[in-house]
Amino acid sequence: APCPQWPYCRKRCSYCNFNTYVVPAVDEAAVRSCLVREAQTLLRLSQVHSVSSVFFGGGTPSLASPGTVAAVLEAVAAAAHLPAGAEVTLEANPSSTSTSRLAGFRAAGVNRLSIGVQSLDDAELRMLGREHTAAEARKAVEAARGLFPGRTSIDLLFGLPGQSRDAWAQRLEAALGLCDDHISLYQLTLERGTALAAQVRGGALPEPSQDVLADMYHTARTVLAAASFRHYEVSNFARKGALSTHNLSYWRADQYIGVGPGAHGRFVPRGEGGRSREARVQILEPAAWMREVQSQGHGTRSRVVLSPLEQLEELLTLGLRTDEGVTHERWGHFSPQLSLQAVFGAPGEARALQQQGWLVLDSGGLRCTWAGLAVLDSLLPDLLWQLQRV
C-alpha cells in the first residue's frame, strides 16, 4: 500500500507539526517525476505484486494537480498490479476542492476523498489557522459526496481550547447532518512547537480539562453509535461498511510504502534479498529528497530492521486500536511459534486487565472492551512489559 506524500501547504495550521512546507512556488513537474521515480524504485524493492490501496497524504495533496496524481497511479500500476477495486484516497482541504478539481482527481483514479473539515464553526476554524470557513467546508463536502458517493470521509477535531461539552455536541450534530458514511474524530493534540501549544502554555488560551475531554469522547461514541456508525478504530467511525481499507491495513501491520519527503514505511525489501521488515523514513526536506531521488532512485533517510519483538510490539500497539483487536491470524503471521494465548493467557498483567474489564481474549483474538479502548495507553505498557518478559 503506497502512501505518496505531497509535502506542501498554502499555510501552516496552528496545531500542525507535520513535515510540511509553505513555499511561494512549487516546481510541480520536478516533484511529480520524483514521486513517480521513488514509487517505482520502492515498489520494485518491496517486490509487492498487488497493491490494495493508495493513500495520498501530506501536506495538502489536493494542491497537487490531478495530472500528478494520475502520474503516480500510473507508475504504481506499472510496477505492480493495481486492481480496479483498489482504494485510492486523497486527503483534501475544503479550500482546494472545487467541483472541477475534484472531478479531475476522480478522472485521475482517486475513488475516495478524506476532507479536512476540522470544525464547522468559523471562530474555531480561525483559532486552528484554517484557510476555509464553515460554509466552504459544507460546500466542499457536498461537492465531494456528489462525485464520491459513499466514499467521502470528513475529519473533525474536538477538545479545542475553550470548547465546551455543549459546543462539541452541537458541532457533532452539525457534522452528522453533513457527513457521508465515514467520520474521523481526533482529539486535538497540543504538539510541542506549534503556535497553538505555545498560546496554551503561555496562558493566552485555556487548556481543556481531562474530564471534559473524556466526556466529549464519550458523547461522540454514543451519538455516532446511535446513528449506526461502527466505532472501528479509536478515532474512526464508519457505517454501511465504509471502513478505510488503507488505514485498516496500517493498523493490522500490513506492509506499506512511504513515498515522498518525510514519508514513513514498513516493508520487507525482498528486491535486494531482504527478509526482515524494516522501518523506513524518507528524507524530510523536499529539495534534499529530490536530489537524492534523482541520483539514487529513492530518498530513504533511514532504514532500521525491526526485530521480531519490535514487530509484535507494533502489532499490539496498532491492532488494539481497532474494534477487531489483534486476531489470532494476524498474530500468528508475526509469531508462528508463540500464540497469543500463550503470551497473554498466562497469569500476568493481561489476565488482570481482563478481570478488571478492560480487555478480552477469546476465539476472536485480543481486543479492548468498550471501556478499555478509551484508556488503551494505560493498558499498553503493561502488555508490552508482559510481552518483553516472555
Partner 1 sequence: MALAGRAALRWGPRLPSPSAAPLCRAAGLPAACERRYSSRGKEKLDMSTYPVESIRNFSIIAHVDHGKSTLADRLLEITGTISKTDRNKQVLDKLQVERERGITVKAQSASLFYNHEGINYLLNLIDTPGHVDFSYEVSRSLSACQGVILVVDANEGIQAQTVANFYLAFEAQLSIIPVINKIDLKNADPERVEKQIEKLFDIPTDECIRISAKQGTNVEKVLQKVIEKIPPPQCTPADPLKALVFDSTFDHYRGVVANIALFGGEIAKGHKIMSAHTKKRYEVNEVGILTPDEQPTHKLYAGQVGYLIAGMKEVAEAQIGDTLFLYKQPVEPLPGFKSAKPMVFAGMYPIDQTEYNNLKSALERLTLNDSSVTVHRDSSLALGAGWRLGFLGLLHMEVFNQRLEQEYNMSVILTAPTVPYKVVLSSAKLIKEYGKDQITIINPAQFPDKLSVSEYLEPTVLGTIVTPHEYIGKIITLCQDRRAVQKDMLYIDENRVMLKYLFPLNEIVLDFYDALKSLSSGYASFDYEDAGYQSADLIKMDILLNGNPVEELATVIHKDKAHAAGKLLCERLKETIPRQLFEIAIQAAIGKKIIARETLKAYRKNVVAKCYGGDITRRMKLLKRQAEGKRLMRKIGNVEVPRDAFIRILKREPDK
Query: Which positions lie near partner 1, rule CB under 8 A?
Result: 3, 18, 57, 186-189, 210-211, 213-214, 217-218, 234-235, 247, 250-251, 264, 279, 281, 304, 310, 313-314, 317-318, 321, 356, 358, 373-378, 380-382, 384-385, 388
Nearer to partner 1, 188 or 293 (CB): 188
SS (H, E, C) 8-55: ECCCCCCCCCCCCECCCCCCHHHHHHHHHHHHHHHHHHHCCCECCEEE
Nearer to partner 1, 98 or 378 (CB): 378
133 DSSP assignment: -
**Least distance in Å: CB of 84 to partner 1?**
25
Nearer to partner 1, 169 or 380 (CB): 380
Nearer to partner 1, 116 or 365 (CB): 116
**Least distance in Å: CB of 207 to partner 1?**
15
Contacts of 16 (CB under 8 A, 6+ apart): 191, 194
**Least distance in Å: CB of 134 to partner 1?**
22
**For residue 285, with 0-12 CB atoms within 10 Å meaning exposed, 13-18 middle and 19 or more buried, which class applies?**
middle
**Least distance in Å: CB of 173 to partner 1?**
21
**Least distance in Å: CB of 177 to partner 1?**
23
| β partners of residue 182 | 153, 238
Query: What secondary structure does DSSP assign to 202-223, as a single string?
Result: TTSSPPPPHHHHHHHHHHHHHH
**Least distance in Å: CB of 346 to partner 1?**
17
d(CA 121, CA 171): 8
Nearer to partner 1, 147 or 318 (CB): 318
Residue environment code for 142-170, b if the CB has 16+ CB neighbours within 10 A, otherwise e:
ebbbebbeebbbbbbbbbbbebeeebbee
**For residue 50, with 0-12 CB atoms within 10 Å meaning exposed, 13-18 middle and 19 or more buried, which class applies?**
exposed
Nearer to partner 1, 136 or 236 (CB): 236
Closest CA to 338 of 312, 373, 375: 312
> CA-based Rg of the chain, rounded to a whole angstrom?
21
d(CA 379, CA 373): 9
Nearer to partner 1, 57 or 109 (CB): 57
**Least distance in Å: CB of 311 to partner 1?**
11
**Widest distance between CA atoms in the chain:** 60
Return the ∠ at Cα 190 (arms to 384 and 3), rounded to 5°. 65
**Least distance in Å: CB of 16 to partner 1?**
11
Residue 274 in contact with residue 18, Cβ under 8 Å?
no
Q: Helix H segments across the chain?
A: 28-46, 66-79, 99-108, 122-127, 134-147, 165-178, 195-201, 210-226, 245-251, 286-296, 308-319, 328-334, 340-344, 349-355, 370-374, 376-389
Nearer to partner 1, 18 or 21 (CB): 18
Nearer to partner 1, 38 or 136 (CB): 38
Nearer to partner 1, 145 or 260 (CB): 260
**Least distance in Å: CB of 318 to partner 1?**
7
d(CA 251, CA 245): 10
Residue 109 Ramachandran class (φ > 0 left, ψ -120 to 50 alpha, else beta): left
**Least distance in Å: CB of 165 to partner 1?**
13
